[in-house]
Every structure is written in C-alpha cells, then in structure tokens.
Amino acid sequence: MIAARACANIALVKYWGKRDAALNLPAAGSLSLTLAALVTETSVGFDPALAHDVLVLDGASAPADRVTPFLDLVRAQARVTTRARVVSRNEFPTASGLASSASGFAALALAASRAAGLELDARELSILARRGSGSAARSIYGGFVRMHAGTRADGSDAYAEPIESALADTVRMVIAIVGGGAPKTHGSRDAMEHTAATSPFYSSWIAQVPADLAAAEAALARGDLKSLGEITEANALAMHASAIAARPPVIYWQPATLAALAAVRELRARGRTAWATMDAGPHVKVLTTAAEANEVAHALAAVHGVTDTIVSAAGGPVT
Ligand code: PMV
C-alpha cells in the first residue's frame, strides 16, 4: 500500500460551472487557500487477487462508484488492469460534515499513481486530480493556489499552480460548522450544471470571475488581506446568487448561515479582519489573521445554530 496525505482547500474565488463535464474542465479559473486542519490520508494497493476495486472510508466499507472511474484513468496511464484496495480517512474534527472531495481526490491521485508505478509531476497530478473533482486540482499545492480554466479541448492546460504570497504565513481560516437537521444538500457537480442550464444570472457570474481573479492575485502580491477578503466575500455571494436564481433554486444556506454572516459583518464593524465565504453547504468559512482568529472563532461559536468552529492555518502540498 502507498499512502498519501492531502489538505482540503477553500476557494476564495469560486469554481462554479464547467466548460466540459466529461473531462471536468472549469468554465472559469478559481483561487483557493489550502487548509492544514483538514487532512485526508489515503492508501492504495493494486492487488491481482481482487475482482473489483474496494473502498474503505473512515473505517467502513463504502461504494467505489466514484473511485473506480478515477482508478481507470490511472490504470490506463500505467497500462495495468489490476483492481485496487483504497483505504481513506478524513482527519477532520468530528462530525464536521465538511466536503472532502478536494483532499480525497488529491491524496488518491498521488497514492494511486505511485502504487501503479507512475511518477507524475505536480502539474500532471493536478490534471489527474481534476478528473475526480475540479477543486481537487488545487489541493495538490499548499498555500494560495490558482486554477487555470485553460482553453484546450483535451484539458492539458486546466491545472492549478501555487501563488507565492507573504499572507500565507499570517492568514487563518475559521470554519463555522452549521449543523442541526439540515436537509440533504445538492451535490456540487449536479448543482453547478443545473445553475448553468437554468439560472438567468449564470452568465453574469461567469463574466465576473476573471476580474475577481485578477484583483485577488493583485491583493496577494501586495499582501493586502483586506482587499482579498472583500473579493472573497463578494465572489461567494455572487456564486450563491447565481445558484439561488436557478429554477428550481439551489439554496445551501440555513438560518444560522445568515446569522454567521451577520456576525462577520459585526466583527468588521468593530474593526476586525473577517470576511466570509460559503460552498455547497451551510457552513461559513471566515478569512482572518492569526492574531484575530480566536476572537473570530469565539464570535462565531456564539451564533445560534453554529455547532463547532475550526481554526486553520494554510496547509502544505500533497505528500
Ligand atoms: O470540485 P467540486 O466539484 O466539489 O466543486 C467545488 C465547488 C465549490 O466548493 C462550491 C467551489 C470551489 O471552487 O471549491
């Protein structure tokens, strides 16, 4: 068995929409922060004795229906046909309900490719991980990461790259877990497709992304967390606006999501560094500094419906 570890990432400029569903090619670029506190460890061993792929997820046997097509890509590249045993564990704080496809497919890309005898470089791993989940392409790298939408039909220019920034050392993300009886949410894959197909705001959303990416990269280059935070929050709200306007709507927010957003605005009104983003679920992730992270976590923990908070520094690349 070959083991790999990868950190999840949270997008500051979101990926929401594909230009090619089969190859998982994004319609626009995205920009993210890799998080040290959200780690997946995955081990892979190819075993001629197996009749089909086997997945053990967090200690329990799980359906391999997303793992097998991904392993098929690795098998095709490595010219092997052997089935594999995949053992994956999320080292996330208990019952967080956080999506783990980014860290999961990044760790699987490295562990499976090595186990199959391939020596892929980081860019090749990013392209491979993208096939499992678009956001996984970014989890190959640590710190701030830029995903390129690319223009080629074969996806060979749709990969992620790290962005150097002095902010990587001082930035923190506080994750406010919104729990309590939330109905099952829409998976991101179907929901972004549905948004693209039915939302009158989808084209406006996609048109906005290049400007947000350019402004976010400029803010990173200047070490300007306030500007980065402003773009992060505005971009997340624009993404959600496009999803909310889909017909029927895709609404990920719970009452506590809005309450947490209000708490973030209140923190800012008191002069604190705090900017929110949300993904395909009700949780609120807040960009702040190492010096202010505990106060931000405390304020979010006091919000009715927030069941837990996690403070994370920037994480490293897949190993
Ligand atoms: O990579 P996927 O298919 O899980 O989609 C990720 C979608 C968002 O988390 C909402 C945005 C992003 O860029 O991570």
The string of pLDDT tens digits covering residues 31-75 is 999 999 999 999 999 999 999 999 999 999 999 999 999 999 999
Residue 92 main-chain phi, psi, to 5 deg: -85, 150
pLDDT value at 181 more than 70: no
Paired tokens of 181: 């009886």
- Cα 212 to averaged position of ligand 1 atoms, centre (Å): 17
Q: Give residue 280 CA to ligand 1 midpoint distance, Å.
A: 7
The residues near 183 (Cβ < 8 Å, ≥ 6 apart) are none
How sure is the predictor about 186, in pLDDT bands with cuts at 50, 70 and 90?
Answer: confident
Which candidate, 6, 39, 13, 30, places its Cα nearest to that of 312? 39
Per-residue model confidence (pLDDT) at position 75: 98
Q: What is the mean pLDDT of residues 146-164?
A: 98
Residue 124: CB atoms within 10 A of its CB come to 17
Please say if the pLDDT value at position 23 is more than 70.
yes
Q: Mutation test of ligand 1: which of 103, 188, 235, 252 has the most ligand atoms closer than 8 Å to its C-beta?
A: 188
How far is CA 151 from each of CA 19, 27, 143, 220, rounded to the nearest angstrom?
Answer: 9, 9, 25, 25
Helix or strand run (H / E) with residue 129: helix 122-132
Residues 6+ apart with CB under 8 A from 184: none
Question: Are 7 and 34 spatial neighbours (Cβ–Cβ below 8 Å)?
Answer: yes
Angle between helices 67-78 and 101-115 (to 10 degrees): 30
pLDDT at 98: 80
> Which helix H or strand E contains 297, and what residues bound it?
helix 293-301
Q: What is the pLDDT of residue 55?
A: 98
Rounded distance from Cα 264 to ligand 1 centre (Å)? 22
209 CA from centroid of ligand 1 (Å): 14
pLDDT at 93 over 80: no
Q: How confident is the model at residue 182 (pLDDT cuts 50, 70, 90)?
A: low
* Backbone phi and psi for residue 102, each to the nearest 5 degrees, phi listed first: -65, -55
Beta strand ranges found along 91-233 (DSSP E) = 144-147, 160-163, 171-178
pTM to 2 decimals? 0.97
Query: Average pLDDT of the chain?
Result: 96
Residue 15 has a pLDDT of: 98
